[in-house]
């Protein structure tokens, strides 16, 4: 028979906030928001719903906490270079957020909702603080800090959310279609456009099938950074 101390230790492990969040993130990763139910959580954790509510609150609060957990980890990323520049740090954070949403497809929607609904929450404040410090380090004048940081945040969130949708998390796109199939269909549709009316679309039709999402994302970061440099 296990001792009372061992039973207490096991119970505390099961009911820890960290364990609950890890379980929630696992459910979200495997099946999206629809998979995150109280019943699924209690089955996975072998506990009652009251314990979950005690540690993280209701389902919306659990989603917010799971989002905060993933984003906080991404924001802790630092550039690998010994003499990292502000540009290096911005790229490191931007790619960490990009990779987090690529890994956790449900995160794009939840992150957007956090930014909109909770501007004083840890996710919104964390993103602006982490990137905003680098905007200041770039030499952008203080009166332009908010506009500059907002432009950077808007580009990052918009670009990574679009990539997340391409990978199948948005209604209107076949969730079973893979990336290559999606871009193949798109390039064929663009090629069928009238060349005289849409010369630009015909000029880039081959590029859509060959482009790398991560490299394209970094190109956008470079464009934004170049623009911020002009504010000095």
pLDDT digits (tens, 9 = 90+) for 30-69: 999 999 999 999 999 998 889 899 999 999 999 999 999 9
Percent of the chain with pLDDT over 70: 87
Report the pLDDT value the prediction gives residue 177, as an integer from 0 to 100: 53
In a shared domain, residues 219 and 112: yes
Residue 167, pLDDT > 60, answer: no
The answer to whether residues 115 and 179 belong to one domain is: yes
Are the beta carbons of 82 and 89 closer than 8 angstroms? no
Q: Are residues 117 and 177 in the same domain?
A: yes
Q: Are both 5 and 99 inside the same structural domain?
A: no
* 8 A C-beta contact, residue 228 and residue 135: yes
Q: What is the CATH number of the domain that holds 7?
A: 1.10.10.60
> Is 121 in the same domain as 170?
yes
**Same domain for 107 and 158:** yes
pLDDT value, residue 180: 77
Contact between 231 and 141 (Cβ < 8 Å)? yes
CA proximity to 113, closest of 172, 148, 72, 157: 157
Query: In total, how many domains does the chain have?
Result: 2
CB-based contact 159:224 (threshold 8 Å): no
**Angle at which helices 107-117 and 122-137 cross, to 10°:** 80
Please indicate, yes or no, whether residues 17 and 107 belong to a single structural domain of this protein.
no
What length is written for the chain? 232
**30 and 116 part of one domain:** no
User: Which domain covers residue 2, as residue numbers?
Assistant: 1-57
89 and 52, same domain (yes or no)? no
Q: Examine residue 133 and state whether it is found in any structural domain, yes or no.
A: yes
pTM for the model: 0.79
Owner of token pair 């010994």: 82
**Whether residue 30 is found in the same domain as residue 90:** no
pLDDT for residue 20 is more than 90? yes
Q: Is residue 62 a part of any domain in this protein?
A: no
User: What is the tens place of the pLDDT at every residue in 72-113?
Assistant: 999 998 887 778 899 999 999 999 999 999 899 899 889 988
Residue 43 in any domain: the answer is yes
Asked if residue 69 is part of any domain, the answer here is: no
64 assigned to some structural domain: no
Residue 85 is part of a domain; what is its CATH number?
A: 1.10.357.10
Kindly state whether residue 130 falls inside one of the protein's structural domains.
Answer: yes
Please give the residue that has the higher pLDDT: either 126 or 5.
126
Give a yes or no: residue 118 inside a domain: yes
Q: Please indicate, yes or no, whether residues 26 and 106 belong to a single structural domain of this protein.
A: no
Task: Note whether residue 112 is domain-resident.
Answer: yes
Indicate the SS3 state at residue 87: helix
Q: Do residues 41 and 112 share a domain?
A: no
* Mean pLDDT, the chain, integer: 85
Indicate whether 207 pLDDT > 90.
Answer: no
């Amino acid at each position: 028979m296990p001792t009372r101390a061992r039973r207490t230790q096991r119970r505390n492990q099961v009911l820890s906030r960290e364990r609950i969040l890890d379980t929630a993130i696992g459910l979200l990763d495997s099946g999206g928001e629809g998979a995150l139910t109280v019943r699924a959580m209690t089955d996975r954790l072998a506990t009652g719903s009251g314990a979950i509510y005690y540690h993280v609150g209701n389902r919306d609060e659990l989603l917010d906490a799971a989002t905060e957990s993933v984003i906080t980890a991404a924001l802790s990323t630092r550039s690998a270079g010994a003499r990292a520049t502000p540009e290096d740090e911005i790229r490191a954070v931007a790619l960490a957020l990009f990779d987090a949403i690529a890994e956790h497809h449900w995160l794009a929607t939840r992150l957007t909702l956090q930014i909109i609904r909770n501007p004083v929450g840890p996710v919104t404040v964390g993103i602006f603080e982490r990137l905003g410090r680098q905007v200041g380090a770039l030499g952008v004048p203080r009166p332009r800090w908010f506009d500059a940081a907002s432009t950077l945040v808007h580009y990052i969130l918009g670009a990574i959310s679009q990539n997340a949708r391409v990978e199948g998390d948005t209604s209107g796109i076949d969730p079973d279609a893979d990336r290559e199939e999606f871009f193949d269909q798109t390039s064929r549709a663009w090629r069928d456009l009238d060349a005289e009316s849409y010369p630009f679309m015909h000029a880039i039709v081959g590029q859509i099938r060959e482009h790398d999402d991560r490299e394209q994302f970094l190109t956008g970061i470079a464009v934004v950074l170049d623009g911020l440099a002009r504010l000095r």
